[in-house]
Amino acid sequence: AQSVTQLDSHVSVSEGTPVLLRCNYSSSYSPSLFWYVQHPNKGLQLLLKYTSAATLVKGINGFEAEFKKSETSFHLTKPSAHMSDAAEYFCVVILQGGSEKLVFGKGTKLTVNP
Amino acid sequence: NAGVTQTPKFQVLKTGQSMTLQCAQDMNHNSMYWYRQDPGMGLRLIYYSASEGTTDKGEVPNGYNVSRLNKREFSLRLESAAPSQTSVYFCASTVSQNYGYTFGSGTRLTVV
């Protein structure tokens, strides 16, 4: 079975400090992994994706994530938080088998304090 | 640049009423999906359609039906709404799993 676990339901940082949102996955196959962001009362926007190419993936708005197979992790980072980064972030794994279904983590709400 | 369009954006229903949530995409995507989002639960798949003419159940299909009307449109129907179906519903589509999904802006449904 494939699943994804976001280790923190809430993360709070100060503006200008680094952001780390943690995600671990469980998969029998080499996974495809994504991070999505959802701002309040908005839809979901793709931040970045890993699909078995480079293990360090760069996304939009200065975010990046590193795929670590040995640790089954795909943590999302940003060197310096901005107030506009306040949102909910979802780690997502592709469910293999041809149906192309995404399996979502439960989300991490990021608060950025001035 | 419409992407995925969902209607309506908000709806209040009484228990037992029926309604259909509409979704249309203009990106020529083969696969379309319906998710519901509840606090602390992430997004859970209700139904999906891998291609025109096919539909399959997801994780939480009970109380819902879907229709893939054509390649563009994928509707979700609640035949007899229940308070447990109060949620935010998202439609999504994709051309291929490696591209990720494009999501609509959601329908906020309240059943009283």
Angle at B30 between CA A33 and CA B56, to 5 degrees: 80
**B2 phi and psi angles, rounded to 5 deg:** -70, -40
Q: Chain A contacts of B101, Cβ < 8 Å? A: 44, 46, 102
Per-residue pLDDT for B18 more than 70? yes
Over the range A41-65, which residues count as b (16 or more CB within 10 Å of their CB) and which as e?
eebbbbbbbbbeeeeebebeeebbb
Contacts of B107 in chain A (CB under 8 A): none
Are the C-beta atoms of B95 and B53 separated by less than 8 Å?
Answer: no
A32–B104 CB contact, under 8 Å = no
Q: Do A42 and B42 touch (CB under 8 A)?
A: no
pLDDT at A37: 96
Whether B58 and chain A come into contact, CB under 8 Å, resolves to: yes
Angstrom distances, CA of residue A87 to CA of A11, A60, A90, B98: 10, 14, 10, 24
At A8-43, the pLDDT tens digits run 999 999 999 999 999 999 877 778 899 999 998 888
Q: Does B53 touch chain A (CB under 8 A)?
A: no
Percent with pLDDT over 70 in chain A = 92
**pLDDT band of A67, cuts 50, 70, 90:** very high
pLDDT the model gives residue A94 = 81
Inter-chain CB proximity B33 and A34 less than 8 Å: no
Using the Cβ of B106 and the Cβ atoms of chain A, whether some distance falls under 8 Å is answered with yes
Average pLDDT over residues B81-86: 97
Q: Is the pLDDT of residue B69 over 70?
A: yes
